[in-house]
Chains A and B, each alone.
Chain A
Amino acid sequence: MTGPVLVILPHNPGDVVMALQAIRRVKARHPGLEVDYLVGEECRDLALGNPLLRKVFVIPKRDLKALWEGGDSEGVLARLGAFLAEMAATRYALSANLFQERWGGLLQGMVNSDRKIGLELAEASRFQVRSRWLEHLFAIPAHRAGNCLHVVDIYARAISQALGGGSESSLRRAENAASLLPMLLRPNACKNLAPETYLAFHPGSAWAGKRWPEAHWAGLADRCAAAGFTLAFTGAPEDRPMMDRIAASLAPRTRAALVDCVGRTSLPGAAWVYAHARMLISGDTVAMHLAAAAGIRTLSLFGASNPVETGPYGKGHVIIQTDANPLPDLAFDSEHAGLRHLRAEEVAAYVLDGEPPPGFRMWETGWDESRKAQGLFDAQRLPYPHPAIALALARVLDAQEALPGSPVPVDRPDGLRGRLRTCLDKCIGQPLDENLAVLTAIEKELEEETRADLIWEAYRIAVNGLPWGDLRAHLILRKARLESALEEEALTRHADPIA
């Protein structure tokens, strides 16, 4: 398959940067591949003019909202229809919907593409997720800590596999950082910043659970300024009140060393600030992803989120993880106790003297050649999570164009999994109501047992999307998906040296 390819991931800025990183990885393997991108208006600056992309479709949300607020139904439908028609004018070899919201699936259903992966509203009007890698992605919220791969690697592997490149073993690490972002222009607010002389700070985040306390930022700034550093603060316009509070509490000497860019740059402008800094210090935010994309070293302070999954992508970034148990869903809305306990002097000791903060886990990002993916490494260079887990998972998901042909051992014939397999066989032979009722009961029991399990959540997502038009065909596909989950479970559990 040679393309063109359409990638759909319109929001949020950090996710868009990670999608671009995945595209770069795929293009390192397929240099001539033409990639188009569908983006939301607030992220357009990251996509327009990006050397990785051929064409960018910007969702005309402002136009649509103006028509909507004017009560013009026909106008909304006509404008949206025209936008989709423009997109459908290109026939794609592949469209990859990496967006996890429902309207992305609706939109994916309207794309003119020979092959589609990701969430889609299919012809039978059922939402389904095509691609085992993307099923895995959708299942991650069920068990965040159970995911052992960075989302950039998940995106890249899903696209690579669908392009027919086989397993990830043929995907290389993409080194050329300069080609990842549009041209970076120095913002006016930073005209006095001398490259390579300053530290960049990004204290804000869309989520309270990812924000280090303001007083801690002020304490870190005072210590770094006392050590002679200029400090460039970045942020969204809405971060202005927070920045004013931080600035008001700084020592006079720090205020003199401060270059306040908060609300005064575009996203590429902020990327310029990071690209010329000695280091960026931030939470798990778009700033971290932009700085990593620009190839600059980052120090990231993680609270509720999981650095394995959405940490800075690239080599040599440092992460302080203040919580060993990432939240099981995306509820990052409340302040994070772990971040509050990480003190300013502890972060300053690392920034200025390289001393790790006692009592917190600290990782450095690195490339794990054995599994062709990013890994986290501790001070002894021990990888986290254990690479065998990721290897086993990748082996199953990479192989999942063809479903496995031979059954794999199940715990016991009378165990839950064995009963499910037997019942499915029975239903395929005799799809009677009483057999289907037993099937539903066993699946419910299994769901109770595996509610927070990534493999089984992916199984449930897949089963939910299987067409029902022909019951027997549905059951056969369901059985095949069960065998695949059992194989994945057997391999992953076997590979886990901790379990």
Chain B
Amino acid sequence: MLVDMEPADIAGLAREAEAKLAKGMALTERERLALLARLLIAQPTRQERKYGQA
């Protein structure tokens, strides 16, 4: 699983970002980037789900 290889700093920032989003709080630039990176990289596209990671 790709997400298992997630760098610890990004995991921490992304968790922080999710918690803030749940409370309707604004994110810092780094939190936005970390969350975007996590969603972009760790979540396979529909094609990747069928065909494996691109």
Contacts and interface: CB of A to CB of B under 8 A. Distances in A.
B5 A68 contact: yes
B35 A106 contact: yes
B54 A61 contact: yes
Chain A contact residues, majority secondary structure: helix
Interface in A61-88: 61-62, 64-65, 68-69, 71-74, 76-77, 80-81, 84
B11 to A, nearest CB: 9
A61 B47 contact: no
A77 B37 contact: yes
Given A69-B5, A76-B7, A80-B37, A103 B43 contact: yes
Interface string B1-43: 0100111111000000000110011110010111111011101
Contacts of B2: 65, 68-69
User: What bracket does the count of chain B residues touching chain A fall in?
Assistant: 20 to 34
B34 to A, nearest CB: 7
Contacts of A123: 26
A11 interface: yes
Contact of B7 (A71, A107, A109, A206): A71
Contacts of B36: 80, 103, 106-107, 110
Contact of B30 (A69, A77, A106, A107): A77
A236 interface: yes
Contacts of A121: 21, 27, 32
A390 to B, nearest CB: 28
B24 A125 contact: yes
- Specify the main secondary structure of chain B where it touches its partner: helix
A64 B20 CA distance: 25
Contacts of A126: 24
Contacts of A12: 45-47
B26 A42 contact: no
B7 A72 contact: yes
A64 B7 CA distance: 12
Contacts of B54: 41-42, 61-62
A11 B47 CA distance: 8
Contacts of B10: 68, 73, 76-77
Nearest to B30: A77
A13 interface: yes
A442 interface: no
Nearest to B10: A73
A72 B41 CA distance: 13
Interface in A421-436: none
A40 interface: yes
A62 B32 CA distance: 20
B32 A106 contact: yes
B53 to A, nearest CB: 8
Contacts of B45: 11-12, 40, 42
A1 interface: no
Interface in A118-136: 121, 123-126
Interface of A: 11-13, 40-42, 59, 61-62, 64-65, 68-69, 71-74, 76-77, 80-81, 84, 101-103, 106-107, 109-110, 121, 123-126, 206-207, 236-238, 468
Give the 3 A-B residue pairs with the shortest CB-CB distance, closest first: A73-B9, A103-B39, A73-B7
16 contacts: A12-B45, A13-B47, A61-B54, A64-B40, A68-B37, A68-B41, A71-B8, A76-B7, A77-B10, A80-B36, A84-B33, A103-B40, A107-B36, A110-B36, A124-B24, A206-B51
